[in-house]
């Protein structure tokens, strides 16, 4: 064997067998298709396009999934994580409830409505899903520090997951974040750093730091291709919980747009693998008007998403330059959906409507989803007779400041039955 050949052999061994990331086989560019071996890379060396995980799925059946744990790890055969991914029973995200929302359906004039309530995750938002997958991949890729720039929920999820894994964490947030999201991150005692600037400034800083610190896994920067795949579990769960079928319409909040594109990917994968019948579905995107670059591009008929400076109470969605914006437009247009945006006042109405009808207290992102659904129904874009799912991605306890001026006790009274009767008008 010539030395040339053996170099190639070693290279191959390093690049294809070095990591066990389950069914993941390579990273491929979403723009030009260029493929590279699995690694902590996120941008294509040929065209700077975003990299995405490519798979070679094994034999996956409904039964094999149903036999798995009641967490996102039941879908491990569809995720870029080691086959023996470490589980922490009772603290893993996923298998949150899918609620038949008849009272909200009646209020919205819909025939059949479900709410996917992702407030039930360990740190009360869907971000626990993406972080769990990022951590599992990062561990296999050799990292020992978990980091992120965050609009709040990701900060919670990274700090908590790192604490549970015994890793150090470095979390960067805009300094004007909701107090509750700061405290519920700080309590895990990682390195939480508040930055004077908006999320897009913080994200730029993180990209710079990721280049400097090769042992830091910035979940949504240098290990973003793996992280992003975690959002597929939302789509898988909705389909499984509906009894192994796809909904006809789904409304998804959009920040970077990653979640929306991955739920769409999950539905397509389930169809291609024969786990569900590949019935048509429409994907709808929801934004706050104060940060609506994707909605603006959709309504203007553009392919390019022009960055904006965010100004909205929906801070978890306040990404002015959404990385996956163009792919959101693709998914929405391909499926016949739409993207719409709602004002901050409508967001608060959405939060209150969901709470009043279903007993679910969502954060501002949930208010965006509910209010956008209402607007799309009124505009005739959401079909009231087609089965609809709303993704409620975060918990209202973290964004109390959004509602505190509008809600409170009906009255403050002395401890007497007469005073209660008077308040209730009996």
Ligand X SMILES: *Cc1c(COP(=O)(O)O)cnc(C)c1O
CB of residue 153 vs ligand X: minimum separation in angstroms? 3
Burial class (CB in 10 A: 0-12, 13-18, 19+), 379: exposed
DSSP string, 169-226: EEEEEETTS-HHHHHHHHTT-SEEEEESS-HHHHHHHHHHHHHH-TTEEETTTTTHHH
Scanning residues 374 to 413, which ones bind ligand X (CB under 6 A)? 393-394
Nearer to ligand X by Cβ, of 178 and 269: the residue is: 178
44 is in the binding site of which of Zn ion, ligand X, none (Cβ under 5 to 8 A by kind)? Answer: Zn ion
256 is in the binding site of which of ligand X, Zn ion, none (Cβ under 5 to 8 A by kind)? Answer: ligand X
Scanning residues 42 to 71, which ones bind ligand X (CB under 6 A)? none
Scanning residues 149 to 178, which ones bind ligand X (CB under 6 A)? 153
Ramachandran category for residue 318: left, alpha or beta (phi over 0 → left; psi -120 to 50 → alpha): beta
CB of residue 40 vs Zn ion: minimum separation in angstroms? 17
User: Bridge-partner residues for 342, per DSSP?
Assistant: 288
Nearer to ligand X by Cβ, of 28 and 259: the residue is: 259
> Which residues lie closer than 8 Å to 233 by C-beta, 6 or more apart?
72, 75, 79, 93, 94, 129, 133, 266
47 is in the binding site of which of ligand X, Zn ion, none (Cβ under 5 to 8 A by kind)? Answer: Zn ion
Q: Does the protein bind ligand X through residue 190 (CB under 6 A)?
A: no
CB of residue 8 vs ligand X: minimum separation in angstroms? 39
Rounded alpha-carbon distances, angstroms, from residue 122 to 126, 131, 291, 394 = 9, 11, 28, 11
- CB atoms closer than 10 angstroms to residue 3: 7
31 is in the binding site of which of Zn ion, ligand X, none (Cβ under 5 to 8 A by kind)? Answer: Zn ion
Nearer to ligand X by Cβ, of 65 and 348: the residue is: 348
Count of CA atoms in the C-beta half-sphere (13 A) of 100: 6
Burial class (CB in 10 A: 0-12, 13-18, 19+), 293: buried
DSSP string, 42-73: -B-TTT-PBEEEEE------HHHHHTS-SSGG
Nearer to ligand X by Cβ, of 222 and 259: the residue is: 259
* Separation of CA 26 from chain center: 23
- Interacting residues with Zn ion (CB under 5 A): 29, 31-32, 34, 44, 46-47, 49
Q: Does the protein bind ligand X through residue 185 (CB under 6 A)?
A: no
Scanning residues 312 to 371, which ones bind ligand X (CB under 6 A)? 316-317, 363, 365
| Residue number closest to ligand X, CB atom | 394
Mark residues 222-261: x for contact with ligand X by CB under 6 A, - for none: -------------------------------xxxxxxx--
Nearer to ligand X by Cβ, of 254 and 353: the residue is: 254
Binding interface with ligand X (CB under 6 A):
125, 127, 153, 253-259, 316-317, 363, 365, 393-394
């Amino acid at each position: 064997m010539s030395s040339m050949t053996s170099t190639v052999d070693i290279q191959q061994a390093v690049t294809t067998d070095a990591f066990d990331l389950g069914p993941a086989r390579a990273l491929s560019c979403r723009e030009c298709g260029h493929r590279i071996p699995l690694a902590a890379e996120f941008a294509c060396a040929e065209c700077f396009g975003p990299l995405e995980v490519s798979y070679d799925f094994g034999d996956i059946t409904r039964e094999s999934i149903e036999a798995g744990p009641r967490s996102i790890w039941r879908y491990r055969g569809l995720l870029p994580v080691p086959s023996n991914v470490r589980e922490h029973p009772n603290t893993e995200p996923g298998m949150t409830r899918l609620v038949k929302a008849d009272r909200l359906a009646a209020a919205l004039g819909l025939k059949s409505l479900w709410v996917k309530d992702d407030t039930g995750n360990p740190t009360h938002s869907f971000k626990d899903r993406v972080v769990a997958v990022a951590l599992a991949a990062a561990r296999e890729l050799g990292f020992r520090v978990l980091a992120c720039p965050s609009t709040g929920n990701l900060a919670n999820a990274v700090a908590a997951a790192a604490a549970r894994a015994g890793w150090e964490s470095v979390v960067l947030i805009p300094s004007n974040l909701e107090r509750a999201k700061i405290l519920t991150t700080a309590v895990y005692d990682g390195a939480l750093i508040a930055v004077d600037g908006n999320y897009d400034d913080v994200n730029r800083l993180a990209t710079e730091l990721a280049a400097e610190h090769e042992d830091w896994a910035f979940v949504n920067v240098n290990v973003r291709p793996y992280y992003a795949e975690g959002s597929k579990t939302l789509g898988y769960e909705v389909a499984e919980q509906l009894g192994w079928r796809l909904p006809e319409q789904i409304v998804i909040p959009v920040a970077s747009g990653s979640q929306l594109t991955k739920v769409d990917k999950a539905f397509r994968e389930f169809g291609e693998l024969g786990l569900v019948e590949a019935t048509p579905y429409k994907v709808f995107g929801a934004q706050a008007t104060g940060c609506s670059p994707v909605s603006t591009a959709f309504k203007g008929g553009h392919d390019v998403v022009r960055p904006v400076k965010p100004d909205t109470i929906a801070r978890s969605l306040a990404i002015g330059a959404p990385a996956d914006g163009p792919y959101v437009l693709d998914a929405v247009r391909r499926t016949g959906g739409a993207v719409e945006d709602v004002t901050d006042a409508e967001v608060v109405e959405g939060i209150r409507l969901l709470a009043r009808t279903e007993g679910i207290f969502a954060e501002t992102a949930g208010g965006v989803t509910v209010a956008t659904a209402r607007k799309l129904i009124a505009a005739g874009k959401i079909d009231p007779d087609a089965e609809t799912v709303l993704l409620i991605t975060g918990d209202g306890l973290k964004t109390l400041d959004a509602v505190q001026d509008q809600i409170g006790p009906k009255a403050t009274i002395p401890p007497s039955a007469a005073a209660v009767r008077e308040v209730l008008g009996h």
